[in-house]
């Protein structure tokens, strides 16, 4: 580029910077008051139709807002890059509360909330809670995963059970440990296979299928699969494995988050760990209207925020009784399920529980 | 769980993981032999995979899906060839552009067409040998259960070898990749040969996309290739453009990929991240050991203009 | 390619600009066509985007998006000038960003903010340069094609950083696997209400630095010789292998800086799921910039505009973010084609010896595999 062009573009930039500097003089002053909520937003890292985590959050908030007659903005596929421009845009389009639906947003959203005076709801970071500004959701899915483990322990015929995960985020990790503890309590001699598909392989359906193929070939007859989009690969794998096999030789799937009982998985879907944010979302909106926003909300077995899907297919007599008994003990506090969110912790705990596997 | 059953599972998984990769690598080898470095396979696989899936779903006919994928791949190859051979645009740039555009378009169209649900294909590919007995332990059972795409892939290996090594066209391809100027002098229509090679390369990418979406998975999702197209470029080079070596290299890659899962299953106490690095480190090591001293086709990456010898 | 005489040089710059604009127009036109076919209103979609960008918030966000892209593009450009295809930007950004996040977490609270920036950006630069250096050494020592090695190293970097941030380097006080969050006051200062930050100045300085390097320095000339005619470079007794390693080191360092930029400004932490994949966009950017350092500035704004579009349009116009990958691809393809026409035009008007129509090609041939 030539000097003249250089001078011109540098000049333009200096001008722009000047403008930017000027604009700094105007600092917006917004206050949070107890007002009527008419407009909320949700931001999710992946597609709202991935049959998993993202879809669950969007579906729940959609039903809440429809019932209350509130406007909803959905920003899906936001990924884990710098999401601030999207948050900014949601705020600019009038969102009075933003649901940051990913544990990976647990530090960026509080920061945005503090700087822009927009209330946000975050996942699994209770320390960040601030009155009027930041509420946190703690999902005790490990309790329900424990129940799923109990069910798997009762239902497995081969004695080998597998956990297949698309990655190792806290949400999956909690459930992996819960499931393993439930299995151990019910069937101490069981063999547990734990297999990770990839680093962030939420959508890596091909390797999900290959991995599931392998765990089935290794003798697992129940697969506890946490995948999001990758789950479809797991389902296809089990579907092919079961083809032409008598019912008592078929493998079965325990899903998380979504209810796939009306999909291709219906003939072998044993259960699913279901999350239901509807009550929490309603409560948060109420809180915001009443000026009491800024709490830690818990989803657990007791309040029904997480629960186990009733098996759409027949199960052994005694299975549901064992599950219900375990559920009661969890509610009473007689069973304490570990809450382990980090990947190394998961590996350590699984080795403790199933040293031979 | 017996050792034999575990090894069978490992081998079966190795074979499956290498199918799409083998097809894509064979296609890339044909292109590279003709002097075309195509970095766009990833995008071509994705768009072909989507188109094939869409066609199979609409027509409820898996075969039509395969046909659509191959045609789509060939068209993509023609676009690549047209841009780099006829318009003489830079191969690396056009390849990267194809990867971006193919990935973007397939994702865009998928979300447009099936935004609200994930359809799965109903039909399943046959397993031609499933009624045979096991035969040799481990190898027998690992092979007989495979879908026909596996056997088609293996049939393609000698076919491509024959095409490149035993036909006049194969000779012309290699001449166009080594000394296009000399080939031209000898009466070879370098432009036509390279354009055809690009179309074949594209058709193979299309079949690879179909192998993944239609044969292996039974559905398409945006980005399902997760880098297979790029690994294919490496495998073509590791195999030195020789179909048999490529097939073996692809199998080894599949083995390393499956070994990661296998070690997790057998309870080897290594962090999964390290297991997942294995295949990629394997490629680098393989190139250092195997491919040392091999030359790339002399005119790889170079466009040919009549009368100008640039090699 | 460089023409003699001021008039020739001015027309070359003008033609370059026209080519880039033409490529953008073609890409947007094809994009509009696809939008129409799929039942969208392209004008409404583009309008919604332009509407946002014409406000300060939107415009400043475009700049924020453009900063790391410009840094990554500088990394690509330096290598491309030397005929080296550094496709490993993504991996280099990751290892650099992780190093930066870890270092910042260690020193935060102990040193003044400017020192924190320098130390942690320095860590990013060193680690990313070393990472890129692997591919450089493999190329120089074994003649291994850097396209293959850098692509493979991207995957390895993804696994490696993921392991490190989930294991030994994570902030144990958080559930989410990430490095300690750098407090706001310790991050790069921003202008006014916008998020435009000091990284902009760094990026501009680097772009200007590259421009000076290519024009004046002996090193810049050597790069060009290697890139355009490695055989001649060897004849001229240039230490080609050493230069190749050096180029990869600097290219990696710049990519590491792009990673550090994000950690020290917008992100404040390295997360295990974060993978910005600037590589492809950086390639599109470099060719949009006509392989000229100063061209990076406007080209980065264009790509920043697309990145911002991918953030905003999915919601306001119901256009999937994948559409913007498609646009990038179309821009790149259009550039490659229009660029050939430009080259021919220049060749005819220059009437000199055949110019390097494909700077990459000779270099690819130099490698064994």
Top-level class of domain A141-268+313-353: alpha beta
Residue B81 to chain C, least CA–CA distance (Å): 12
Pick B226's closest partner by Cβ from A204, A232, A351. A204
What is the mean predicted confidence (pLDDT) over C131-158? 92
C20 touches chain A (CB under 8 A): no
The domain that contains C256 carries what CATH number?
1.10.3470
Where is average pLDDT lowest: A179-188, A262-271, B66-75?
Answer: A262-271
pLDDT (0 to 100) of residue B116? 65
User: Whose CA is closest to C295, among B93, B96, A6, A16?
Assistant: A6
Q: Is residue C1 part of a domain?
A: no
Going edge to edge, which strands form the sheet with A269-275?
A191-196, A160-165, A222-226, A252-257, A269-275, A306-308
Whether A192 and A357 have beta carbons less than 8 Å apart is answered as: yes
Whether C136 and C245 have beta carbons less than 8 Å apart is answered as: yes
Where is average pLDDT lowest: A1-15, C78-92, C316-330?
Answer: A1-15
Work out the mean pLDDT of chain C and round it to a whole number. 88
pLDDT band per the 50, 70, 90 thresholds, residue A29: very low
pLDDT (0 to 100) of residue C126? 98
CB atoms inside a 10 Å sphere around CB C184: 11
SS3 category, B187: coil
Where is average pLDDT lowest: A6-15, A167-176, B194-203, B300-309?
Answer: A6-15
User: Whose CA is closest to B156, among B25, B48, B31, B16?
Assistant: B25
Q: Is residue B34 part of a domain?
A: yes
pLDDT band per the 50, 70, 90 thresholds, residue C356: very low
| C337: pLDDT strictly greater than 70 | yes
Q: Is residue C154 part of a domain?
A: yes
| A356: pLDDT strictly greater than 80 | no
Whether B175 and B188 have beta carbons less than 8 Å apart is answered as: yes
Domain total in chain B: 1
Q: Is residue B42 part of a domain?
A: yes
| A24: pLDDT strictly greater than 60 | no
| C361: pLDDT strictly greater than 60 | no
| C8: pLDDT strictly greater than 80 | no
pLDDT (0 to 100) of residue B45? 98
Which segment, A17-31, C172-186, C220-234, C331-345, is predicted with the most confidence on average? C172-186
Contact B104 C167 (CB under 8 A): no
pLDDT (0 to 100) of residue C2? 43
| A354: pLDDT strictly greater than 80 | yes
Contact B108 C358 (CB under 8 A): no
pLDDT band per the 50, 70, 90 thresholds, residue C351: low
pLDDT (0 to 100) of residue A264? 82
pLDDT (0 to 100) of residue C19? 87
pLDDT (0 to 100) of residue B145? 84
Q: Is residue B63 part of a domain?
A: yes
For residue C291, the chain A residue with the least C-alpha distance is A1
Q: Cβ-count burial of A116 within 10 angstroms (0-12 exposed, 13-18 middle, 19+ buried)?
A: middle
- Whether A39-139+277-299 shares its CATH topology with A141-268+313-353 is answered yes
Q: Is residue B244 part of a domain?
A: no
Domain total in chain C: 1
B219 touches chain A (CB under 8 A): yes
Q: Is residue B148 part of a domain?
A: yes
Neighbours of chain A (3+ CB pairs under 8 A): B, C
Pick the CATH number of A39-139+277-299 from 3.40.50.300, 3.40.50.2300, 3.20.20.70, 3.30.230.10: 3.40.50.2300
Which carries the bigger pLDDT value, residue A167 or residue A22?
A167
Q: Is residue B172 part of a domain?
A: yes
In chain A, where are the structural domains located? 39-139+277-299, 141-268+313-353
Q: DSSP letter string over A147-162?
A: HHHHHHHHH-SSSEEE
Q: Which value does ipTM take for this structure?
A: 0.92
Question: With a cut of 70, which residues of chain B have pLDDT below it?
Answer: 1, 116, 134, 291-294, 310-311
pLDDT (0 to 100) of residue C227? 83
SS3 category, B161: helix
Contact C65 A85 (CB under 8 A): yes
pLDDT (0 to 100) of residue C353? 42
| A346: pLDDT strictly greater than 70 | yes
Work out the mean pLDDT of chain A and round it to a whole number. 89
Q: Which of residues 11-50 of A touch C (CB under 8 A)?
A: 13, 16-17, 19-28, 45
Q: Is residue B61 part of a domain?
A: yes
Domain ranges, residue C324: 6-366
Q: What pairing do the DSSP bridges indicate for beta strands A160-165 and A134-139? A: unpaired
C contacts of A26 (beta carbons < 8 Å): 192-193
Where is average pLDDT lowest: A9-13, A73-77, C305-309?
Answer: A9-13
pLDDT tens string A97-144: 999 999 999 999 999 999 999 999 999 999 999 999 999 999 999 999
For residue A210, the chain B residue with the least C-alpha distance is B13
Q: How many helical (H) and strand (E) elements, i.e. helices and strands, does chain A have?
A: 11, 12
Q: Which of residues 141-200 of C touch A (CB under 8 A)?
A: 158-159, 162, 166-167, 170, 172-178, 181, 184, 191-196
> DSSP strand E in chain A: where?
39-43, 71-75, 97-100, 120-123, 134-139, 160-165, 191-196, 222-226, 252-257, 269-275, 296-299, 306-308
Residue B83 to chain C, least CA–CA distance (Å): 7
pLDDT (0 to 100) of residue C366? 52
The domain that contains B108 carries what CATH number?
1.10.3470.10
């Amino acid at each position: 580029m030539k000097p003249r062009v250089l001078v011109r573009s540098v000049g333009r930039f200096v001008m722009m910077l000047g403008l930017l500097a000027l604009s700094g003089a105007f600092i917006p002053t917004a206050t949070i008051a107890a007002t009527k909520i008419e407009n909320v937003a949700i931001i999710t890292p992946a597609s709202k139709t991935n049959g998993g985590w993202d879809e669950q959050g969007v579906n729940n908030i959609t039903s809440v807002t429809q019932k209350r007659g509130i406007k909803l903005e959905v920003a899906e596929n936001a990924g884990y890059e710098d999401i601030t421009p999207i948050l900014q845009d949601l705020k600019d389009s009038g969102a009075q509360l933003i649901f940051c639906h990913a544990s990976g947003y647990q530090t960026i959203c509080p920061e945005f909330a503090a700087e822009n005076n927009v209330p946000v709801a975050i996942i699994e970071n209770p320390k960040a809670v601030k009155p009027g500004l930041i509420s946190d959701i703690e999902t005790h899915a490990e309790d329900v995963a424990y129940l799923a483990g109990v069910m798997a322990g009762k239902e497995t015929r081969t004695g080998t059970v597998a956990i297949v995960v698309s990655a190792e985020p806290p949400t999956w990790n909690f459930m992996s440990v819960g499931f393993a503890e439930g299995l151990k309590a019910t069937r101490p001699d069981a063999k547990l296979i734990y297999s990770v598909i990839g680093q962030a392989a939420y959508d890596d359906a091909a390797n999900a299928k290959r991995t599931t193929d392998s765990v089935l070939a290794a003798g697992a007859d129940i697969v506890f699969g946490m995948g999001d989009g990758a789950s479809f690969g797991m389902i296809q794998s089990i579907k092919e494995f079961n083809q032409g096999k008598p019912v008592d030789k078929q493998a079965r799937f325990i899903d998380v988050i979504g209810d796939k009982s009306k999909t291709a998985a219906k003939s072998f879907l044993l259960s699913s760990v279901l999350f239901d944010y509807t009550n929490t979302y309603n409560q948060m909106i109420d809180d915001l209207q009443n000026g009491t926003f800024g709490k830690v909300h818990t989803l657990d077995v007791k309040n029904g925020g997480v629960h186990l899907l009733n098996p759409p297919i027949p199960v052994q007599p005694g299975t549901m009784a064992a599950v219900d008994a375990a559920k009661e003990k969890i509610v009473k506090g007689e069973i304490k399920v570990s809450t382990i969110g980090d990947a190394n912790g998961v590996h350590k705990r699984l080795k403790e529980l199933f040293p031979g596997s | 769980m017996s050792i034999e059953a575990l090894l069978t599972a490992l081998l079966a998984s190795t074979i499956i993981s290498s199918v799409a990769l083998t097809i894509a690598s064979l296609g890339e080898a044909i292109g590279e032999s003709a002097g075309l470095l195509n970095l766009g396979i990833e995008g071509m696989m994705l768009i072909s995979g989507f188109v094939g899936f869409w066609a199979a779903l609409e027509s409820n006919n898996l075969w039509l899906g395969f046909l659509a994928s191959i045609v789509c791949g060939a068209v993509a190859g023609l676009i690549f060839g047209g841009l780099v051979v006829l318009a003489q645009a830079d191969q690396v740039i056009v390849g990267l552009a194809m990867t971006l555009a193919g990935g973007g378009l397939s994702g865009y169209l998928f979300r447009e067409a099936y935004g609200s649900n994930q359809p799965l294909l109903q039909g399943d590919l046959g397993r031609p040998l499933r009624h045979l007995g096991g035969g040799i332990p481990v190898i027998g059972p690992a092979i007989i259960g495979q879908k026909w795409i596996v056997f088609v892939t293996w049939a393609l290996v000698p076919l491509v070898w024959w095409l490149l090594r035993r036909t006049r066209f194969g000779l012309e391809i290699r001449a166009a990749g080594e000394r296009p100027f000399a080939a031209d002098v000898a009466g070879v229509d370098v432009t036509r040969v390279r354009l055809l090679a690009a179309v074949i390369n594209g058709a193979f990418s299309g079949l690879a996309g179909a192998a993944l979406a239609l044969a292996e998975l039974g559905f398409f999702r945006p980005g399902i290739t997760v880098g297979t197209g790029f690994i294919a470029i490496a495998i073509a080079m590791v195999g030195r453009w020789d179909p048999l070596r490529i097939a073996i290299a692809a199998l080894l890659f599949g083995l390393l990929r499956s070994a990661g899962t296998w070690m997790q299953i057998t309870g080897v106490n290594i962090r999964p991240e390290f297991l997942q690095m294995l295949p990629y480190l394997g490629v680098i090591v393989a190139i250092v050991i195997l491919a040392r001293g091999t030359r790339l086709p002399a005119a790889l990456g170079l466009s040919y203009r009549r009368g100008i010898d640039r090699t | 390619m460089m023409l003699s005489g001021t008039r020739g040089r001015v027309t070359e710059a003008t033609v370059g600009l026209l080519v880039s604009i033409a490529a953008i127009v073609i890409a947007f036109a094809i994009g509009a066509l696809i939008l129409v076919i799929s039942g969208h209103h392209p004008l409404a979609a583009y309008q919604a985007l332009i509407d946002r960008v014409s406000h300060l918030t939107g415009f400043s966000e475009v700049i924020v998006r453009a900063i790391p892209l410009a840094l990554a593009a500088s990394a690509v450009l330096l290598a491309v000038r030397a005929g080296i295809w550094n496709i490993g930007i993504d991996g280099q950004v990751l290892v650099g960003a992780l190093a930066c996040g870890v270092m910042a977490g260690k020193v935060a609270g102990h040193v003044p903010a400017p020192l924190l920036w320098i130390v942690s950006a320095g860590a990013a630069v060193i680690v990313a340069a070393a990472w890129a250096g692997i591919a450089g050494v493999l190329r120089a020592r074994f003649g291994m094609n850097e396209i293959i090695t850098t692509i493979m190293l991207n995957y390895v970097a993804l696994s490696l950083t993921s392991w490190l941030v989930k294991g030994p380097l994570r902030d144990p006080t958080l559930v989410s696997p990430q490095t300690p969050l750098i407090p706001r006051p310790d991050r790069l200062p921003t202008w006014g209400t916008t998020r435009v930050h000091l990284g902009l100045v760094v990026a501009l300085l680097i772009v200007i630095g590259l421009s000076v390097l290519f024009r004046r320095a002996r090193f810049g000339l050597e790069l060009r010789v290697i890139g355009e005619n490695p055989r001649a470079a060897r004849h001229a007794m240039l230490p080609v292998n050493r230069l190749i390693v050096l180029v990869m080191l600097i290219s990696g360092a710049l990519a590491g800086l792009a990673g550090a930029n994000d950690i020290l400004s917008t992100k404040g932490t390295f997360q295990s799921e974060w993978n910005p994949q600037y590589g492809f966009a950086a390639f599109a950017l470099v060719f949009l910039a006509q392989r000229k350092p100063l061209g990076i500035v406007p080209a980065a704004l264009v790509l920043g505009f697309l990145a911002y579009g991918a953030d905003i349009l999915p919601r306001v116009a119901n256009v999937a973010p994948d559409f913007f990958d498609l646009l990038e691809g179309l821009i790149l393809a259009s550039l490659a084609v229009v660029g050939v026409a430009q080259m021919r035009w220049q060749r005819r008007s220059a009437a000199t010896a055949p110019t390097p129509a494909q700077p990459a090609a000779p270099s690819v041939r130099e490698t064994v595999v």
